[in-house]
Amino acid sequence: MFFAASLALPLVWFIARFIVNRKRSDIRYAPGPSAKSASWIWGHELEAFRGQALEVYSKWMYTYGPLFKINAAFFHNDIIVVGDHAAVQHIFADIFTYMKGPSLRPITANIVGKGVLWAEGEDHVFQRRLLSPAFTLESVKKMADVISECAEKVQCLFTWLEWKFDQGKTFAGFLGPVVIRAFPSIVSLSLKSQNNTAGLSTAQIIDNISTFIMAGHETTGGALNFALMELARSSRVQQKLRREVQQFRDALSYDAIQKLEYLDAVTKEVLRLHPSVPHTERVAMRDDIIPLATPIRMRNGTVLTSFKVQKGQVFHIPLMTMNTNPKVWGEDAGEFQPERWLTPNAIRPSNELPHGWSNMVTFTDGPRLCIGYRLALFEFKVILATLSRSLEFHSTDATVNRKDILTLQPVVDGKCGVLPLRLTLASHT
């Protein structure tokens, strides 16, 4: 009898808390997929997991709007899926109220250690303050020569092959050493701070090096995979880009890269369509009121311009869905159209878009904006320009899908990180 009661009491408490939280939250009447369509155990999360690169979220957002709820697994409180740019900006801006969920942090720690990507709150502020000087614009400019040199070596390797190449593995090997270029600065900055005030511990330095190796080549390498895929599919874009980059015969300097407007447009379009991190998660650490850019009509008929959330509320933020929402980016939002970045009024005013890099959420936003985004963008542009200058890319008959495996990666016939391309030498104009 006592054993049965000891099991029943936690269950009663769990159910009571679930009911009370639902009644206290504004979101209980939010639109969303029917509870009848959810798995009894897995909720709607299983459907999202099985979908190709979170395209299920895109379907839901198109149907229910920029804020809706889904049933969580294991009877957890409903999850709020938020794509409203004002709400997302509010969440990203307050890193003390909204932190990554406890389910993600152990995974991050096991993969890259307890560096800046893992850290939360004051610990994140502390680590980022010490690491940021290694990723300033001036620091990236100092790395420009070695990045260009490495890009030329990769281009030579591809030229020798000049046939089918399983692109996706070589970039990972290339980008690792490039990212390591930043590590002496990181270590020296950290040790310098240790001599003056409290600095990073040796373990934290090692964990951050692991973070930048993994994050540096997995994210940028994946983005380059998709860039070459898009160029192979569009000879028009590829030829236009090649004409621009062939103006520069020598190694591409930082200043030269900044002059290439079409390269910049191609870069933005690739990262809009194929963000390396297609979604993220946050959990409310305390009660809060979140503003909305677009009023939301609840199922009971009320219209909200802001909404109350309770401590413990889980948010899914589908970054790729926000970047490709046709209600924001137009009916061609899912198409690769670099010209949208060069055409006046083709993109909505900035006050109607997120406040992140280029008004997208590819690198997230706020105090947790990707610390190495400047380096990542320069690497991406140098490699893409160098390869496009000398090589032509052609699609094969392989069917390429996108899969969220920690980062967004191409999947061909069940093989992750492999993108077959056919290469030929480009003629110089």
Q: Within 10 A of 159 (CB to CB), how many other CB atoms are there?
A: 14
Q: How many residues are there in the chain?
A: 429
Helix, strand, coil percent values for the chain (each to nearest 5): 55, 15, 30
CA distances from 383 to 145, 147, 165 (A): 12, 8, 16
Identify whether the C-beta of residue 273 lies closer than 8 Å to the C-beta of residue 226.
Answer: yes
The amino acid sitting at 110 is N
C-alpha 236, offset from chain centre: 27
Per the structure block, which two tokens stand in for 291?
């503003």
- Strands 79-82 and 314-317: what pairing? parallel
| Spatial distance between the Cα atoms of 73 and 332, rounded to a whole number of angstroms | 34
Q: How many Å apart are CA 238 and CA 266, to the nearest integer?
A: 10
CB-count exposure of residue 310 (10 Å: 0-12, 13-18, 19+):
middle
- Ligand-binding annotation for 370, yes or no, is yes
* CB-count burial class (<10 Å; 0-12, 13-18, 19+) for 349: exposed
CB–CB of 98/80 below 8 Å? no
CB-hemisphere CA count at 13 Å for 292?
A: 19
The one-letter amino acid at 163: W
Residue 97 exposure: Cα atoms within 13 Å on the Cβ side:
17
Strand order in the sheet with 407-412: 400-405, 407-412, 415-416
Residue type, 331: E
Using a 10 angstrom Cβ sphere, with 0-12 exposed, 13-18 middle and 19 or more buried, the burial of residue 129 is exposed
Cα separation, 120 vs 417, in Å, equals 30
Residue 312 neighbours by CB under 8 Å, 6+ apart:
21, 77, 283, 284
Q: Residue 148: enclosing H or E segment and its boundaries? A: helix 144-161
User: Which amino acid makes up residue 129?
Assistant: R
Binding residues for heme: 370
Binding residues: 370
